[in-house]
Each structure stands twice: as C-alpha cells, then as structure tokens.
A and B are shown apart, each in its own frame.
Chain A
C-alpha cells in the first residue's frame, strides 16, 4: 500500500532532483549576460530554479496534512499495485530485451508471456497472437513504410 503522501513526496523529490540537475548543468554553459547576449545557460538555469522551488513547495504541501490531501489518504492499494506491476514489469523486460532479441522476437515473446503465463488465453491462442503481432509489425513497418526496426544482437550473430 502506498499512501498519497508518500507518492506526493516521491514525485516532488523526483522533479526537484531533475531541477537540481538542470541548475548544475546549466552553470557549465554560463549564466547571465555576455557580449553575445544572454548566455546559453541562463534560460535553463531559471527554469531549473523554478522547478526546484516549485518542487520544494509541493514537498512541503505533501508533508503538511492539508485538508484536501486527507480526503484520499491511500493512493495505491495493494491490489492496484499488483495490477500496475503486472503491466509495467513485463513491459520493462520487453524494452530491456530489444537490443538482444530485436523488436520482432521481443514483442512476440512479450505478447506470449503476458497472455499465456497468467493463463488469460490458452497456449495455442497466445502463440497465434504473438506470431500475428510480430508479422503485423514486419508487414506494416519493414514493408509498407520502410522503417527498419532493430533486429537485435542475436539476429546479427546469426548473420541475418
């Protein structure tokens, strides 16, 4: 279970650290005024400052038990968390597998795994859908629109 407050804090910290990174990086480009006009780092520096201060405000708002936040104390219930991970974790594995397996194999395996392992579909049907997905991608992108999707290190090893 994740409380609304924890989620607010995590998001504010996330945006805040992005802001800090922007501020630090923009200092490299120089901020302020030079002979060529406004330095390249100035605008990012200002946006970084705005992000940091806005995130701090949201952080404080998240900590203080404000009336509006008390209405929804729980942001994600255990059941919802399970559903979220069951969507996101396979998707992340799929993306991680693309450099090795290539888009076609990875997406076919992904569709098969998501449908067959939790027994949403029978194995033959899941296999058929996986094959159809890969084939569909190939026909639409490689053939119709001539966009080459990554074939993966594995295919390269076999000389494809």
Chain B
C-alpha cells in the first residue's frame, strides 16, 4: 500500500490540462490507426515518435501510451461493425462481435466490448500499480547474468507460448538479433555486419523496421483480399450502452478469467493477439453456452476483449521494471524511452519517479478518456471505413516512407523500409511471427551486452548462469519453454489427432 502516495502524486502530474489534451489527441490518433487497415499500434506509435523528441518524457509517454489505448479500442470498432479486424489482436472479437452487430444489436456489441476492454485494462493497470515497483526493487539487485537470464526467458517464452511454428519464431528472433548487431559494437567499438555498405555503420533503426514490417507488409496482405465494407448501422443508442455495461457483472467469472489470461500473456511476452485467442478458446470450452459461440454470444465478446486490453496494458509492466517490452508496441515505446535519454529498467523507479508514476496514473485516466472518446466517435470512424482502399493505400505508403525517412534523414532507410515491407509480407503470409523480430531489434544489444558482461565476470565460464538459485531458475525455465513445443510434438502421436477447424487457421493468420 506504500505505492498509493506515489500514485496520487502521479495523478497530480497526469491530470493537468495539457496532459489531458495530449491524451485526447493520442487516443483519437490511436483510434484512427486502429481503424485503418495497414496502420496499427506499432507503426502508429513509431510514426509519432520523431515528433516527441522535443517533449518532456512524461508528456511524450502519455501521448504514445494513449495512442496505444486508442488503437486497441479502434481495432474492436471495425471488428464489430465491419467484420474487418483493424488490429491483429481484435480478430477474435469478430467471431461473436460481428454476428451480434449484424443481428441488429451493434450498440450492445460495442458497449460490451468497450466495457470489458476497460475492465481488462483496469486490472492490468492495478497489477502494474502494485507489482511494478516491487519487481523493480527485486531487479535492482540483478547482475548481468540475471539480466541475460530474464532476456533469455522472455525470448524463450515467445518460442514456447507465442503460438507460431517454433522454428520460425527462432529464425525471426535470430534475424532480429543480427539486425540489432549491425553497426558499431557498443562494447568494443568495432564495426559489425555492414555488408560493405558504409552508411550501415549507424545501424538499423527499429522504426524503419516497424514501418516496413507492419506498415507496408500489412498493406500488402490487406490489398490481396478486397475489402467489402458491409457496414451495419453505426448509430449509438446511449440507453443501451448503460444497460449493456450494467449486464457485465453477470459475467464476472469470464471477466476475471480473461483478465488473468491477459495479464499473464502480457507480462510473459506472449502479446495481446495470442492472449485474445487463448481467452476466446478457453471461454468457448468452459462456458455453459459454449456451443452458441460464434453466433453473437456476450461472453464471446467479453473474453477476447478483456484479455486483449489486459495484455496490452500489462505489457508495460516488464518494460518499466525490467526493460523488457511485453509486446511489439511496448518495444517501440521502449525504443522511445532510450531516445529520450531514459534507461528503461528498475532504475526508472528510483531516478524517474515522476515519469513512472505519471505514466501509471495516466493509464487510469487515459483508458477512461479512451472509452468515452471511442463511443462518441464511432459514427465518424465508421464513415472513414467507406473511403475506398485504393485511396487509403497510397497515403499509407507515403506515411511509411516519410516516417522512415524522418528517423535520421536518410534515403537508405526508405529503401530498407521497403525491403522490410517485403519481408513483413512474406512472414505474415507464412506465419512467421513479427513481434519477436521487433523485440529482438530493440533489446538485442542489451541482451548481448548482458551476456558479454557476465562472460567477463566469469572469465568465459557458462557456470555463471547456474551460480545462484534465481539465475538457475530463470535459465531452467527458459530452457523448459524452449523445449515445450518439442515435448508437445513428441506427445502428439499418443493422442488422437484433432480435426482441423476453421478457427485455428484464422488464428494462424494473425499471429504476429
């Protein structure tokens, strides 16, 4: 409970007129990128990043995190009204959200989604409030070996729980590490992996990679299937909003279960997408009305939405307290932190109290602002979906090009961005996950430094990773997660092969 005064102090920072205005701007921009196909939270946040360099870090992070909340909400709007997920993490919302809206209950579907999303986010923020500073305190005692072990655990959990093919995840991760290593080595100062291109000495910025992988890549995937915006009515009936939210407590069990799944998947970097699918799958199995799922069940909306937002929010916990982002968007934000001159990790809670608690307090306020704004603007953004894709697509290409260029005023970055676009398309098409790739680019250097420092301490012996209980547990846990897919595969012949369902292919489609 000793966090409460600090949280209250945070509120005095977050609840000021300029910061509330920033929240509104962030949320609206977030809903915009969430609604538009081809633009999502990761590249929306990285587009805004160059514009925050002149700001106070607190204001900058409030703007960026509000955008993240807005994008999470915006993705659900198109899922429910158009059956087009604006964000990969809101695909599971289409399963029951769209049928309910089509049956003439769009307000109920939207209000249920936003209400449960807000609940999920609230649980995530409360978790951060009470857990983050404690985790940071523990992490203060970490040496390089413990840090490397935590990084290892984080990356291993992608392989073990990310849901994509394990070897493809490993390849994506390793490519990210290699890209992170391009440029000047931070330890020895020598130039690495420039492939003969002198300009690569400055390294490959993660914003360039995100623009290509998520922006151009997603656009290419989207253009393949022509969109038919079969809109259902986007009128909001305000009395029904309150009635739908009032009915939510009846589904308390589903809410709590989904929030728990979401928090777990957010902290161990599984990401919101995996969380929403897992939560939907579990709800269908355990709900009494499970066999009605897919026809507009309330719990079919509650489960993915709650887990999605709980995961999105709690992904910031490891970012703040350990310096390990829990999702691709959190990775981009962490890149921002480093650019603003902050060192993500436990020292934030000692040196940058205003920043940390201002951010945490803003998460409470920001989500309330987001719910209000998204409900008010549903008709506006629904109208936006009627703009033909052929007009939106070139604009998004230009946005990505300009975004990549403005990172360091380099034309090479634009060309690389386009290259990353092709890679992003191929990876999406073949179910290679993109989030671990981005994470590895952002924290690859830190993981490598931790490894090399521990090797220096131990004079080259790997024994340092088994020197004490904590580090041994982390490493063993990581190895167990790495081996998990293998064990499952070996165990498969002993079970009856499950018939392939439509849902698994849909899930495969969106793992990023």
Contacts and interface: CB of A to CB of B under 8 A. Distances in A.
Given A51-B171, A137-B402, A43 B414 contact: no
A139 to B, nearest CB: 13
A65 interface: no
Given A58-B171, A84-B223, A114-B394, A8 B430 contact: yes
Contacts of B394: 90-91, 110-111, 114-115
Interface in A111-156: 111, 114-115, 118, 120-121, 129, 133, 137, 141, 145, 147-150
Contact of A71 (B181, B195, B421, B500): B500
A21 B223 CA distance: 32
Contacts of B168: 54, 58
A84 B177 contact: no
Interface in A1-35: 4, 7-8, 10-11, 14-15, 18-19, 21-22, 25-26, 29, 33
Contact of A43 (B194, B423, B451, B460): B451
A150 to B, nearest CB: 7
26 contacts: A25-B193, A29-B192, A40-B185, A40-B187, A44-B177, A47-B177, A50-B174, A51-B178, A55-B171, A58-B167, A58-B171, A80-B225, A87-B220, A87-B393, A87-B397, A88-B220, A88-B422, A90-B394, A91-B397, A91-B418, A98-B414, A103-B402, A111-B395, A115-B391, A137-B398, A149-B406
B460 A40 contact: no
Interface in B286-315: none
B429 interface: yes
B143 interface: no
B426 A7 contact: yes
B219 A87 contact: yes
Interface string B412-423: 001100100111
B483 interface: no
A38 interface: yes
Contacts of B452: 37-38, 43
A64 interface: no
Given A8-B430, A36-B188, A91-B397, 14 more contacts: A11-B426, A11-B427, A19-B175, A19-B178, A29-B188, A29-B192, A40-B185, A40-B190, A47-B178, A91-B216, A110-B394, A121-B391, A137-B398, A147-B409
Contacts of B137: none
B388 A37 contact: no
Contacts of B505: 71
B405 interface: yes
B316 interface: no
A22 B178 contact: yes
B50 interface: yes
A56 B474 CA distance: 29
Contact of B51 (A111, A133, A145): A145
Contact of B174 (A37, A47, A141): A47
B224 interface: yes
B112 to A, nearest CB: 34
Contacts of A76: 224, 429
Contacts of B219: 87
Contacts of A147: 50, 406, 409
Contacts of A98: 401, 411, 414
A149 B190 contact: no
Q: How large is the interface on A (under 10, 10 to 19, 20 to 34, 35 or more residues)?
A: 35 or more
Nearest to A72: B505
B139 to A, nearest CB: 23
A63 interface: no
Interface of B: 50-51, 167-168, 170-171, 174-175, 177-178, 181, 185, 187-188, 190, 192-195, 216, 219-220, 223-226, 388, 390-391, 393-395, 397-398, 401-402, 405-406, 409, 411, 414-415, 418, 421-423, 426-427, 429-430, 432, 448, 451-452, 455-456, 460, 500, 505
Contacts of A110: 394, 397-398
B224 A33 contact: no
Contacts of B388: 120
Contacts of B418: 91-92, 95
A33 B460 CA distance: 7
Given A37-B452, A141-B402, A51 B193 contact: no
Contacts of B391: 115, 120-121, 129
A43 B405 contact: no
Given A38-B451, A110-B398, A48 B178 contact: yes
Contacts of B224: 76, 80, 83-84
Nearest to A137: B402
- Ranked 4 nearest A-B pairs via Cβ: A54-B171, A50-B174, A47-B177, A37-B456
B465 to A, nearest CB: 14
Contacts of B177: 43-44, 47
A145 B53 CA distance: 11
